[in-house]
Amino acid sequence: MSALTNKTFIISGGVSGIGAATARIAHGRGANLVLTDLNEGAGAAIVKELGERVLFLRHDVTKEPEWISVVAETKSRFGKLDGILNSAGVGRVASVEDCTLEEFRFVNAVNATGTFLGCKHGVLAMKETGGGSLVNISSVLGLRGMNGAPAYCASKGSVRLLSKSVAMHCAAMRYNIRCNSVHPGWIETPMVTPRIQQSADPAETRARMEKMHPIGRLGRPEEIGALCVFLLSDEASLLTGAEFVGDGGLTA
Ligand SMILES: NC(=O)c1ccc[n+]([C@@H]2O[C@H](COP(=O)([O-])OP(=O)(O)OC[C@H]3O[C@@H](n4cnc5c(N)ncnc54)[C@H](O)[C@@H]3O)[C@@H](O)[C@H]2O)c1
C-alpha cells in the first residue's frame, strides 16, 4: 500500500481494539490522526506511544455538538479531513425478553446514532475539500442475528444500510466521498477477551468461539485494521456502498 502522508483521518473509538490497531497501521504509513474516545487514560497512552501527528480528543459519539467540535479541531490542526473510521461501539448481552428499553436505546445511540453523526459531519466537511472515505464498523451480527443480542444486532444492521444510503447520496452528488461497512467476526479486543476470561469455563468458551470460525481461531485487531486502512486510502477508489466481511469464514 502507498504512503498516507498528508492524509488526515478521525478514528472514533481510536484508543482501543480495532480503532487503535487501525490507528497504528495508518500512522505507520504517515497519516495524521485524530483519535477520539471516552477513555482519556488510553487516549494519553496512545498519543505517547505514537508521538507526532496524533491528537486525542475526548468525544462522546452520541453528542452532535461534540462531532462538530471534533471536525472543526481536526481542520484547524491538520488543514483538512480525508476520512473517518467509525469504530466506537458497545456490546450488551440480553435476550429480547430481558433487554430493557434503556439498554436498547443506549446500544443503538452509540453504535447506530454515533455512526450516523460521524457520516453526516464527515460528508459536510469532506464535500468542501475534494472528497474522502467513510468506514463504518458493523459486525457479522449486522448480517445475521444472534440469540441474546437484539440491541447489538439492530444497531449493526442499521450501520450496514446507513452506509449504503450515505454511499448512494455521495455518489449521486459527485462528492468523491466513499462509504463502506466492515463486518468483523469475533476479534480479540477488550470488548471480547475479558468476557471469555470472566466466563464460567474460559477454556471451553474460547474453544467454542474458535470453533465458530472455520479458520479455527478468533481474529486479531490488526487484521481488521489493515482492511480499514485500505478502505480509507485512495487505492480503494472504486469501492463504495459495499460490505467487507472479515470473519475467518464464519458467515461463509
Ligand atoms: N471485537 C469484536 O469481536 C467485534 C466484532 C464485530 C464488531 N466489532 C465492533 O468493532 C468496533 C470496535 O470494537 P472493539 O472490539 O475494538 O472494542 P473496544 O472496546 O476495544 O473499543 C471500542 C471503543 O469505543 C469506545 N466508546 C464506547 N462508547 C463510546 C462513546 N459513546 N463515544 C466514544 N467512544 C466510545 C470505548 O471507550 C472503546 O475504546 C465496535 O463498533 C464493535 O461493535 C467488534
pLDDT per 10-residue tile (average), the chain, 252 residues: 91 98 98 98 98 97 98 98 98 96 98 99 98 98 97 98 99 98 98 95 97 98 98 98 98 97
Q: Please give the model's pTM, rounded to 2 decimal places.
A: 0.98
Q: What pLDDT is recorded for position 190?
A: 97
What confidence tens digit (pLDDT) does each residue in 121-170 have?
Answer: 999 999 999 999 999 999 999 999 999 999 999 999 999 999 999 999 99
Q: What pLDDT is recorded for position 220?
A: 98
Domain ranges of the chain: 8-246
What average pLDDT does the chain have?
A: 98
Which residues are designated catalytic?
A: 152
Cα 188 to Cα 16, 90, 121, 192: the distances in Å are 11, 15, 30, 6
CA of 167 to the centre of ligand 1 (A): 23
Q: Of 74, 27, 19, 67, nearest to 48 (Cα)? A: 27
What confidence tens digit (pLDDT) does each residue in 186-205 have?
Answer: 999 999 999 999 999 999 99
Q: What pLDDT is recorded for position 138?
A: 99
Amino acid at 206: R
The ligand 1 atom nearest the CA atom of 188: 1
Report helix, strand or coil for 55: strand
Q: Of 155, 163, 154, nearest to 88 (Cα)? A: 155
Q: What pLDDT is recorded for position 2?
A: 75
What topology does CATH give the domain 8-246? Rossmann fold (3.40.50)
CA of 173 to the centre of ligand 1 (A): 31
CB within 6 Å of ligand 1 — which residues? Answer: 12-13, 15-19, 37-39, 59-62, 87-91, 110-111, 114, 137, 139, 184, 186-187, 189-192
The DSSP bridge partners found for residue 178 are: 133
Place of cell 505514537: 50
Q: Is 243 left (phi over 0), alpha (psi -120 to 50) or beta?
A: beta
CA distance 79 to 65: 20
Q: Of 150, 151, 171, 186, nearest to 242 (Cα)? A: 171
